[in-house]
């Protein structure tokens, strides 16, 4: 089972000063910052997935790449631009989530093929149109006409895509995108894609589905699957079910979920092999928009906030060195939280205390935890938060290696 990490220009600065919260004055992001595959060992994924919408933008607006980054990607190719080692594979796709509200995908097959070829991807996925809806096998509900239209659009574009790749002799592997609204409709898409000649098929639109619904689809798809056909799950990471998915022909998946949980989840920010912990929120007085509004409105004293912030960081670092008792660290957090959040907001103190008592970073073998210690468990600014996300990727990689796909 191969895991691909979707690129969104997520990098960290290896020289960032966590104590003073500042970058080196001569730091240049594209030149000096590093990706997860450059800073942790073993590399926490088997490859990178890059969406055209992330690079070039889409109906929703500009992508994650600056004009200069986009130009360098096209000039140098994906492998050199992302500084990828030889063992990392690459997949290109269109980023269908970015145009899900449109009646028709905003890209044409020739420009997508040009994107894959110019960037030097190992594989490229056909243009698809996401269907957000699910009808179980037992239901008598009928699909919406728009769902059937989107499925046919995806199949028509997949046929044009593979024919163009064959005629032009493009060097990348064509992957057909399958869309559906239930087991039978996904099986129909897969069957049609196999007739076109696809041996690798990406199953899209399954992100909202429950695990048992994904399995229901895979079981029916498996009944019509050719022996040489392999599946890729787009945007799916259900680690506890990967062995079951593999039995139905799934050989790869992509997801940002464990990375994004580091800073997007309410509680499950720091992962271990057996548990998750809440990162300790110590917002920066001069960098947190909500706190700045409270200060500007006179609700919070800036001097009091700065003092409380410094007391928190001092207590946490002292606790990590064994010089400050946990009770003192928790009390410092309590004071800052009450100042920042006020009495009516939800408190995280009991979760912080659980994190501190476990101190999971002390037991973690990854290079990031060894280097940053307690700083990686502090929810504060992009460098700590993305470093924690990279740590979560290493935990996922370890879990994947522990599974049996035989």
Q: Which residues are catalytic?
A: 93, 254
Is there a contact between 3 and 49 (Cβ–Cβ < 8 Å)? no
Query: How far is residue 256's CA from residue 341's CA, in Å, rounded to a whole number?
Result: 29
- Bridge partners of residue 3, in order along the sequence: 253
Q: The tokens 């269908």 sit on which residue?
A: 96
Strand partners, 92: 50, 124
The alpha carbon of 65 is separated from its chain's Cα centroid by a whole number of angstroms, namely: 16
* Cβ–Cβ < 8 Å for 39, 14: yes
Q: How far is CA 274 from the centre of its chain?
A: 20
Quick check: 255 and 397 in contact, CB under 8 A?
A: no
DSSP 156-177: HHHHHHHHHHHHHT-SSEEEEE
**Burial level of 155, CB count in 10 A (0-12/13-18/19+)?**
buried
Instruction: Compute the half-sphere exposure of residue 309: CA atoms within 13 Å on the CB side of its CA.
Output: 21
Q: How many CB atoms lie within 10 A of CB 364?
A: 20
The CA R_g of the chain, rounded to the nearest whole Å, is 24
Structure tokens that stand for 382 in this block: 């992009």
What is the Cα–Cα distance from 348 to 150, expressed in whole angstroms? 44
Q: Which residues, in sequence order, are CB contacts of 56 under 8 Å at separation 6+?
A: 63, 65, 70, 115
SS3 category, 330: helix
Look at residue 50 and give its three-state secondary structure.
Answer: strand
Whole-angstrom distance, CA of residue 49 vs CA of residue 44:
14
Distance CA 153, CA 161 (A): 12
Coil vs helix vs strand at 112: helix
Backbone angles phi, psi at 298, to 5 degrees: 85, 5
How far, in Å, CA of 138 to CA of 140, rounded? 7
């Amino acid at each position: 089972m191969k895991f691909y990490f979707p690129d969104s220009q997520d990098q960290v600065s290896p020289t960032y000063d966590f104590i003073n919260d500042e970058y080196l004055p001569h730091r240049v992001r594209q030149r000096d910052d590093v990706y997860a595959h450059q800073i942790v060992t073993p590399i926490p994924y088997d490859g990178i997935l890059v969406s055209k919408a992330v690079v070039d933008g889409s109906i929703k607006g500009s992508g994650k790449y600056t004009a200069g980054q986009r130009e360098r990607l096209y000039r140098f190719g994906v492998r050199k631009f992302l500084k990828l080692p030889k063992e990392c594979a690459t997949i290109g796709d269109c980023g269908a989530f970015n145009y899900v509200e449109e009646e028709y995908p905003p890209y044409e097959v020739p420009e997508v093929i040009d994107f894959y070829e110019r960037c030097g991807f190992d594989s490229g996925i056909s243009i698809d149109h996401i269907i957000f809806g699910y009808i179980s096998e037992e239901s008598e509900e009928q699909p919406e006409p728009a769902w059937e239209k989107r499925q046919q659009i995806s199949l028509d574009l997949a046929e044009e895509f593979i024919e163009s790749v064959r005629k032009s002799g493009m060097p990348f592997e064509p992957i057909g995108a399958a869309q559906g609204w239930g087991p039978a409709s996904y099986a129909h898409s897969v069957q049609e894609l196999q007739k076109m000649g696809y041996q690798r098929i990406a199953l899209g639109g399954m992100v909202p589905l429950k695990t048992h619904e994904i399995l229901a689809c895979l079981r029916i798809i498996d009944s019509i699957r050719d022996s040489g056909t392999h599946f890729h799950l787009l945007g799916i990471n259900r680690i506890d079910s990967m062995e079951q998915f593999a039995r139905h022909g799934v050989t790869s998946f992509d997801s940002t979920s464990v990375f994004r949980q580091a800073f997007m989840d309410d509680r499950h920010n720091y992962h271990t092999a057996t548990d998750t912990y809440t990162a300790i929120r110590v917002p920066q007085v001069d960098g947190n928009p909500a706190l700045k509004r409270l200060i500007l409105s006179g609700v919070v004293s800036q001097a009091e906030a700065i003092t409380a912030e410094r007391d928190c960081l001092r207590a946490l670092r002292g606790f990590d060195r064994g010089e400050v008792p946990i009770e003192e660290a928790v009390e410092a957090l309590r004071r800052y939280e009450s100042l920042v959040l006020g009495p009516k907001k939800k408190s995280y103190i009991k979760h912080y205390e659980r994190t501190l008592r476990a101190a999971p970073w002390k037991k973690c073998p990854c290079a990031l935890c060894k280097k940053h210690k307690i700083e990686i468990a502090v929810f504060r600014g992009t460098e700590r938060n993305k470093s924690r996300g990279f740590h979560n990727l290493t935990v996922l990689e370890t879990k994947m290696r522990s599974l049996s796909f035989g």
